[in-house]
């Protein structure tokens, strides 16, 4: 398919002696939100980290915007237009919110219209603009982590469990911001355990198990089929 | 004006600002406030060590890189000036040439060490710097034909920087506020102004985008990569810059002492002193270098006297004079360090900023 922004073909990734990814195939279409689902420990995070180059694929091929990035160094991949929001947020705690954002806008000064949009989506970032990022609450750190990816227009956003461990009120703020991003026509690959959020945002879905992709299709199809969920993920996600 | 001189990195705490202001005034007026050979010598040492410690903090505090070769770079700068002055004859051109050549050599050496070892883990860098620094120290003491070996080199600086040069005879009768206007006074201000410029330059560097990226890398190098920064380039650049500044500090020291030797510029002891100064003052802030270096050099020079005086005062009491005997000053220096690390884990600057 030519309009895929990201394509993984038979990707194998080993971490130490563990074979985490065992032939992952994945296509992320341009201008849509693609969900990556599955139980804990099946390789979702490893898949994202292999794309950005933190872990190296031992076999297989990763194409980003038509280019082979399998062996490219991480900074080069990032500069091609890939925004990554890691599971652990990875904010720079000793720097201010502003400095975190300025650093993330690696290609130049922050676009003010984009910053206004980010402030509208995450008001606390405006309030604490000059504060050390380490003093933010967990939810605010997550906002900063996502805002850092959104500060520049990226070709693709990789977002790893943005709602993990957050209070319900903050989850809805987060979901609204991601919906905003989606409405702007951004391409997103999203790992999400919160099924309500996944259902609301996802266009297509891919389910992993044991280092492989076991199902790919429309999110709508998965969301309405409890038996399918049960079979793919071993439990009814609606019960969460 | 002051804000832009400090690159926007103000002390952010009133006690700290007062302390730094006090140190600045004392150093700027040292020859007039505390006339005397030993006091002025201490002030010059403080100036040099502020720069040396600040350049080390650029590596350790901002870059999170542990290096044991910092005295080696310091020594390269010092020997650069000494060798140039010996072979080119006394003169400012020899000092300038020696200083620039020393800084370039230090940066080049740092580049090689950095490219070899910073690609992997930071710990390898620490080990390699240790090995290279030891090798260079041995080399300097063995190549006695060139470096004077363990005896070091005594050389002549320009006449204008020596005690024999007198000036201001007509206007001030050769003295100002009772201080003789001679070349030694000029040499002090040469060191003081050189150190001030280098320090402000370092402050500019750590508050520039480059400094911010370094801090980001220290906190989370993978994240910095994922944003698009080439971690190795930044680490190597920081290493080279810090080495060059250390070499320039060494050059200033050589100009002041008019002597270089392994003990004054290359020994492992100085390396440990630098580490202590960074930790006591506070890592990751340039002002920590100022406080750490000042306290440490003062303690090194005056603790012994202070204890001698204290022992005399308490001579009527049992045990105390024995404990305060001036010969035991190293013991008390050690106790002071342990206490300062225990009570100020973030350094004195960190503590002052947090309490303010």
Q: Residue A32 maps to which CATH number?
A: 3.40.50.300
Q: Domain tally for chain B?
A: 1
Q: Quick check: A13 and A50 in contact, CB under 8 A?
A: yes
Give the pLDDT of residue A240.
47
For the cut 70, the answer to whether the pLDDT of residue B259 exceeds it is yes
Report the pLDDT value the prediction gives residue B172, as an integer from 0 to 100: 76
Using DSSP, state whether B347 is helix, strand or coil.
helix
Q: Do A90 and B230 touch (CB under 8 A)?
A: no
Q: Pick the residue of A50, A56, A74 with the most B CBs within 10 A to test the interface with B by mutation.
A: A74
Residue B238 has pLDDT above 60, yes or no: yes
Residues 216-235 of B with CB under 8 A from A: 216, 219-220, 222-231
pLDDT tens figures, B303-343: 888 888 888 888 888 888 878 877 888 888 888 888 888 88
Mean pLDDT of B4-20: 87
Instruction: Give the burial class of B327: count Cβ atoms within 10 A of its Cβ; 0-12 exposed, 13-18 middle, 19 or more buried.
Output: exposed
A120 located within any domain? no
Chains A & B: contacts with CB separation below 8 Å: 56
| B8 contact residues in A (CB cutoff 8 A) | none
Average pLDDT rounded to a whole number, residues B44-73:
95
Q: Which has the closest alpha carbon to B74: B290, B268, B238?
A: B268
Query: Is B146's Cβ below 8 Å from some Cβ in A?
Result: no
Task: Dump pLDDT digits (tens) for B113-159.
Answer: 998 887 776 688 899 999 999 999 999 999 988 888 888 999 988 88
Q: What is the mean pLDDT of each run of 10 residues along chain A (240 residues)?
A: 83 89 93 91 92 92 93 92 89 92 88 92 93 91 92 93 88 90 92 88 92 91 87 62
Query: Residue B9 class from Cβ within 10 Å (0-12 exposed, 13-18 middle, 19+ buried)?
Result: middle
The residue of A85, A90, A100, A130 whose CB has the most chain B CBs within 10 angstroms, and thus the best one to mutate to test that interface, is A90
Q: For the residues of A71-114, what is the DSSP string, one character each?
A: T--HHHHHHTTEEEE-TT----TTSBHHHHHHHH-TTSSPPHHH
Nearest-CB residue to A78 (from B215, B227, B284): B227
Question: Any chain B CB within 8 A of the CB of A138?
Answer: no
Instruction: Kindly state the greatest CA–CA separation across chain A.
Output: 50
Contacts A74 to B, Cβ<8 Å: 222, 225-226
Asked if the structure places residue A177 within a domain, the reply is: yes
Which of B209, B219, B228 minimises the CB distance to A94?
B219
Using the beta-carbon criterion (under 8 Å), do B213 and A103 form an inter-chain contact? yes
* pLDDT at residue A235 in the model: 59
Residue A162's nearest CA partner among A193, A118, A202 is A193
- How does DSSP classify residue B89? -
CATH number at residue B254: 1.10.3470
Do the domain assignments include residue A136?
Answer: no
**Residues of chain A contacting residue B226, judged by C-beta atoms under 8 Å apart:** 52, 54, 74, 78, 84, 86, 90
Whether residues B284 and A95 touch (CB distance < 8 A) is answered with no
pLDDT at A239: 46
Instruction: Give CA–CA dist A199/A177, Å, rounded.
Output: 15
A105 to chain B, minimum CA–CA distance in Å? 8
B343 touches chain A (CB under 8 A): no
- Among A75, A103, A104, select the one facing B225 at the smallest CB separation: A75
The answer, for A134 touching chain B at a CB cutoff of 8 Å, is: no
Residues contacting residue B330 through CB under 8 Å, at least 6 positions apart: none
Q: How many Å apart are CA B71 and CA B140, to the nearest integer?
A: 13
In a domain, A121, yes or no: no
Distance from CA of B145 to the nearest CA of A (A): 48
| Cβ neighbours of B284 in A, within 8 Å | 94
CA distance B238 to B205: 10
Q: Would you say residue B346 has pLDDT above 60? A: yes
Give the one of B215, B222, B231 whose C-beta lies nearest to A95's C-beta.
B215
Closest CA to B60 of B332, B281, B297: B281
**A150 — contact with chain B (CB < 8 Å)?**
no
Nearest chain A CA: its distance from B225 CA (Å): 5
SS3 state at A27: strand
Rounded to the nearest 10 degrees, how much is the dihedral formed by the CA atoms of A173, A179, A184, A189? 110
Q: Return the residue in B214, B219, B228 with the most chain A beta carbons within 10 A, the one to mutate for interface testing.
A: B228
Nearest residue to B27 (alpha-carbon basis) of B48, B12, B2? B48
Q: For B233, which residue in chain A has the nearest alpha carbon?
A: A75
Number of domains in chain A: 1
In a domain, A200, yes or no: yes
User: pTM of this prediction?
Assistant: 0.87
- Is A179 exposed, middle or buried (CB count within 10 Å of its CB: 0-12, 13-18, 19+)? middle
B224 neighbourhood in chain A, CB within 8 Å: 103
ipTM over the 0.85 cut-off: no
Task: Identify the pLDDT of residue B350.
Answer: 87
A54 touches chain B (CB under 8 A): yes
- Is A149 domain-assigned? no
Return phi, psi of residue A159, to 5°: -125, 120
A93 CB neighbours in chain B (<8 A) are 219
pLDDT at B355 over 80: no
User: Residue B227: its chain A contacts at CB < 8 A?
Assistant: 78, 103-104, 106, 148
Instruction: For residue B325, give its domain range.
Output: 2-355
What share of chain B has pLDDT > 90, as a percent?
54
Q: What is the pLDDT of residue B26?
A: 94
Q: Domain range spanning residue A34?
A: 4-92+156-235
């Amino acid at each position: 398919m030519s309009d895929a922004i990201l394509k993984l073909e038979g990707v194998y990734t080993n971490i130490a002696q563990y074979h985490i990814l065992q032939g992952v195939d994945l296509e992320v279409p341009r201008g849509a939100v693609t969900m990556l689902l599955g139980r804990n420990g099946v390789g979702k995070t490893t898949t994202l980290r292999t794309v950005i180059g933190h872990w190296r694929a031992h076999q297989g091929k990763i194409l980003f915007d038509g280019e082979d990035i399998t062996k490219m160094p991480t900074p080069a991949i990032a500069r091609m237009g890939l925004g990554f929001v890691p599971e652990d947020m990875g904010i720079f705690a000793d720097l201010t919110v502003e400095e975190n954002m300025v650093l993330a806008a690696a290609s130049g000064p922050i676009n003010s219209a984009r910053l206004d949009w980010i402030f509208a989506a995450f008001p606390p970032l405006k309030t604490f603009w000059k504060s050390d990022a380490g003093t933010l609450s967990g939810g605010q750190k997550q906002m900063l982590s996502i805002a850092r990816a959104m500060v520049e227009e990226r070709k693709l956003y990789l977002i790893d469990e943005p709602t993990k461990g957050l209070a319900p009120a903050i989850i809805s703020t987060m979901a609204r911001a991601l919906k905003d991003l989606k409405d702007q026509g951004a391409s997103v690959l999203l790992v999400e355990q919160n099924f309500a959020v996944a259902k609301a945002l996802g266009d297509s879905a891919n389910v992993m198990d044991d280092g492989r992709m076991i199902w790919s299709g429309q999110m709508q199809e998965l969301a309405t089929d409890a038996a399918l969920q049960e079979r793919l993920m071993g439990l009814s996600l609606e019960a969460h | 004006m002051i804000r832009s001189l400090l690159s926007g990195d103000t002390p952010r705490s009133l006690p700290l600002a007062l302390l730094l202001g006090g140190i600045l005034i004392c150093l700027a007026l040292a020859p007039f406030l505390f006339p005397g050979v030993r006091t002025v010598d201490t002030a010059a040492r403080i100036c040099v060590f502020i720069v040396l410690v600040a350049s080390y903090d650029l590596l350790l505090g901002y870059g999170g890189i542990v290096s044991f070769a910092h005295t080696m770079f310091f020594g390269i700068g010092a020997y650069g000036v000494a060798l140039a002055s010996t072979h080119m004859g006394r003169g400012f051109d020899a000092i300038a040439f020696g200083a620039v050549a020393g800084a370039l050599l230090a940066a080049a050496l740092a580049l090689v060490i950095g490219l070899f070892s910073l690609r992997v883990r930071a710990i390898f860098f620490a080990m390699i710097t240790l090995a290279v620094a030891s090798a260079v120290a041995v080399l300097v003491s063995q190549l006695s034909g060139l470096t004077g070996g363990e005896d070091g080199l005594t050389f002549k600086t320009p006449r204008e920087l020596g005690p024999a040069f007198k000036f201001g005879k007509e206007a001030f009768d050769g003295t100002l506020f009772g201080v003789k206007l001679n070349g030694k006074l000029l040499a002090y201000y040469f060191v003081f102004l050189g150190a001030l410029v280098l320090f402000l330059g370092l402050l500019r560097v750590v508050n520039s985008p480059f400094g911010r990226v370094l801090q980001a890398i220290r906190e989370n190098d993978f994240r910095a990569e994922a944003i698009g920064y080439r971690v190795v380039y930044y680490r190597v650049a920081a290493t080279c810059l810090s080495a060059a500044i250390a070499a320039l500090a060494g050059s200033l020291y050589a100009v002041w002492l008019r002597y270089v030797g392994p003990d004054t510029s290359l020994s492992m002891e100085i390396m440990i002193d630098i580490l202590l100064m960074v930790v006591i003052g506070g890592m990751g802030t340039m002002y920590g270098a100022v406080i750490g270096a000042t306290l440490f050099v003062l303690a090194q020079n005056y603790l012994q006297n202070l204890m001698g005086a204290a022992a005399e005062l308490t001579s009527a009491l049992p045990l105390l004079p024995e404990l305060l005997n001036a010969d035991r000053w190293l013991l008390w220096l050690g106790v002071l360090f342990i206490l300062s690390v225990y009570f100020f884990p973030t350094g004195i600057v960190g503590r002052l900023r947090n309490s303010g």
